[in-house]
Structure 1
Amino acid sequence: MTEPDNKDSSPLRTREKVEIWRSVMEVHAAVLREIEAELHKNHSLTAREFDTLVNIPDDGVKMKDLVHRVVLSQSALSRLVDRLQQRNLIMKTDVPGDSRVALLRLTDEGRTVLRAAARSNAAAVERALSSRLDQAEMLTLGQLMDKVRNS
């Protein structure tokens, strides 16, 4: 990436903006590779499976709501939920008063795996990202990401 001009009034060129975006994507990919390796090695989980487990609250969630919490299509999420159910990490329970809908809930085993996987996820993020920035840089990065995400 080119060095920024020292003039605050000098606007970034399109190429510089694209290079910054490319850096964000490369960092994301590197951190995700580290997370994937850690989750697979220690828990036989993919990052998508972990993300799904993380997004199932204690009181359960309907599939139609879960699809908005994870970055998967309805059909891909259905297949993933089936796999997690076969592994006894989640279960479907009836919704009182609505026989057409089921709640997805973590099983006891699912909660145990999720707690351990969350520690592995945190360790991978620490190795791949947090350890490379100081506290002020991490806080600034968080603020910047929040600003873009919440715009």
Structure 2
Amino acid sequence: MPPRKGRTALTRAELDSWRAFIETTEELRTAIEGRLQSDSGISAGDYRVLLELSEAPERRMRSSHLADAIGWERSRLSHHLGRMEKRGLIAREAAKGDNRGAEAVLTDEGRDALRRSSVPHFHAIRELFLDALTPEQLAAARDLAETLSGHLAGKRGATAP
């Protein structure tokens, strides 16, 4: 359905759809993140950082690139990395070839924490999300997410300097 130009008020159906979507996704995220914390002792933020570093070349990434990759402000990431470093999950080192920048490096302890947390995390995803949907609904959910992601990317591009 094409957007309706000029109309700012939401219809009851539009508002109900929005609220159902946003409230349910928040409830789902909270439940999955809570299970991750209780099952493995790491936060959703820890998991995102560990996963991103595990997939990076040499298990290391410039902090600025890591912040962009996970969609966090650099100051938030810096504080979070400090907490993870104290727990031995990551190390921070001067960037190779550029001492002005810093890189986050996945430690062996961090890699092990990611491995230990992944199986229970995947079980929670299956139980709380996948098992609730038919294959058709799952495909529709993916299509919806990809459509919204593309729409948002277009909006970000339109507002870029």
Query: Structure 2: 5+ residue runs without aligned partners?
Result: 5-9, 152-161
Distance across 1 between alignment mates of 2:71 and 2:19: 20
Distance across 2 between alignment mates of 1:21 and 1:113: 36
Distance across 2 between alignment mates of 1:109 and 1:58: 16
Distance across 2 between alignment mates of 1:135 and 1:124: 18
Higher helix share: 2
2:61 aligned residue: 61
Distance across 1 between alignment mates of 2:20 and 2:34: 21
Matches within 5 A, 1:2-13: none
2:131 aligned residue: 131
- Is 1:44 matched with 2:49? no
Matches within 5 A, 1:95-114: 95-114=95-114
- 1:38-86 residue CA offsets vs partner (Å, 9 max, x unmatched): 2111221111221222222332111111111224322221111001111
2:79 aligned residue: 79
Distance across 2 between alignment mates of 1:80 and 1:66: 12
Write the letter of the residue equivalent to 1:110. Answer: G
Indicate if the aligned counterparts of 1:62 and 1:102 stay in contact, CA closer than 8 A: yes
Equivalenced residues, count? 141
Indicate if the aligned counterparts of 1:95 and 1:101 stay in contact, CA closer than 8 A: yes
Scaled by the length of structure 1, the TM-score of the pair is 0.83
Identical-residue share of aligned pairs (%): 23
Root-mean-square deviation (CA, aligned residues, Å) is 2.0
1:26 aligned residue: 23
Query: Structure 1: 5+ residue runs without aligned partners?
Result: 1-7
Structure 1 residue ranges (4+ consecutive) displaced by more than 3 angstroms after TM superposition? none
Scaled by the length of structure 2, the TM-score of the pair is 0.78
Indicate if the aligned counterparts of 2:35 and 2:121 stay in contact, CA closer than 8 A: yes
Distance across 1 between alignment mates of 2:56 and 2:67: 17
